Amino acid sequence: MVAKYPNSLQDVIEGDIVGAGYFSLVKQLQNRIENVRRTSTPKIRKRKHQTDSDHTDEIPLEERAAMQDTYGCIKWNVEFLPLEETPESQQQKMEKLKVMFQQADANPDEIKSLMKSTYYTQCQHVNQGKSIKCLREEWPFWFDELGMSVHFKELTGIDLEETFTRNLDLKGKRLLDYMTTVAVSQSKAFLQTYARLQRMRGPQSGCSDDVKEMVLPLLSYFEEKEESMLFCVEDTCLADEVQLEQVPLTPTIIVCGQSCYSSRRYMLSIDRNLVSTNISSFISALCLMFGSYYNFNIHYPSELASTLEFLQRCFFSINPEKGTKVENKNSKRRLSVNPRVLTLIQDLADHEWR
């Protein structure tokens, strides 16, 4: 059906097919079947006692974990060193990168080349379970924009910030328009949140402010908490003054100021370690935060499941047909594409034709 009528049925936003392209149609058909089968007389349903044999069709935990680890990646577990490399040469390059990190005039092209050629060892260290603190000490460039982008490109095949800014130009205006005209009329709670954000923003304008106006309402739209992604401190706060015990364990943007709109400096925390302490723009902070989930093999927290997947599919162009990167706190099976993300993508597509 989708192949025959792609313009009407395919899951697409600005030319990008979402997942397999037919999940929203499947969801509608499933809902229709359930509605038809539903009787008007309520029935008492007894909870079925579950045994280990009841889950024979479930994906084993080990396999499910492996699917989450490799989700969206094209080169996750590199088995062999490049032909021209040895463990000794990798160690030498790692040490050279440490020295260069202390130099103010380090050559970006050389950094990029060294980070790319040591990708194998970086992967080994992550997959061996080395701590973020240890990785930060051994690979300091990995946590800045250049190093993060190099590893992310090798891992996923996607340019991190370039892809985001390109998709922002293509899709950002439509999303903002939808939020400010349709979403505000559908939910009183969302309207109140949007009004609060507008007061916080004031007369400011610019690309980075537009991103804030897109991400913050997106969190509200999906009913996900800002503090799961953003942690505000005083604008004069130094790195060693951040109360990290209050920061989420997952990658978190530290906002130096009363709000994202007033802030001119950001930090990044991963596993309650400040890994980058002087990020100048919100776009860079957002890309570093998102890239960290992939580079350091971190699952999306369930508290941000919808927002992160929407950003992933629509703005970072990572569009797997199977699997999920969301942490699984129970045995409940998740759909390949988050239903709430699908609904928003459908609504955005419909909004285009109005």
Q: Which residues of the chain are under the pLDDT cut of 70? A: 1-2, 4-68, 202-209, 329-335, 352-354
Classify 266 as helix, strand or coil: strand
Burial of 139 (0-12, 13-18, 19+ CB in 10 A): buried
**Closest by CA position to 139, among listed 77, 105, 90, 104:** 90
The answer to whether the beta carbons of residues 161 and 287 sit under 8 Å apart is yes
pLDDT score recorded for residue 76: 83
Which residue shows structure tokens 């969190």?
219
pLDDT in tens, 171-226: 999 999 999 999 999 889 889 988 888 887 766 555 566 788 899 999 999 999 99
**Closest by CA position to 345, among listed 203, 209, 174, 210:** 174
Q: What's the distance, Cα to Cα, between the start and end of the chain in Å? A: 24
pTM exceeds 0.85 for this model: no
The answer to whether the beta carbons of residues 141 and 111 sit under 8 Å apart is yes
DSSP-derived pairing of the beta strands 16-17 and 12-13: antiparallel
The answer to whether the beta carbons of residues 155 and 76 sit under 8 Å apart is yes
The answer to whether the beta carbons of residues 319 and 310 sit under 8 Å apart is no
Give the gyration radius of the chain's Cα atoms. 22
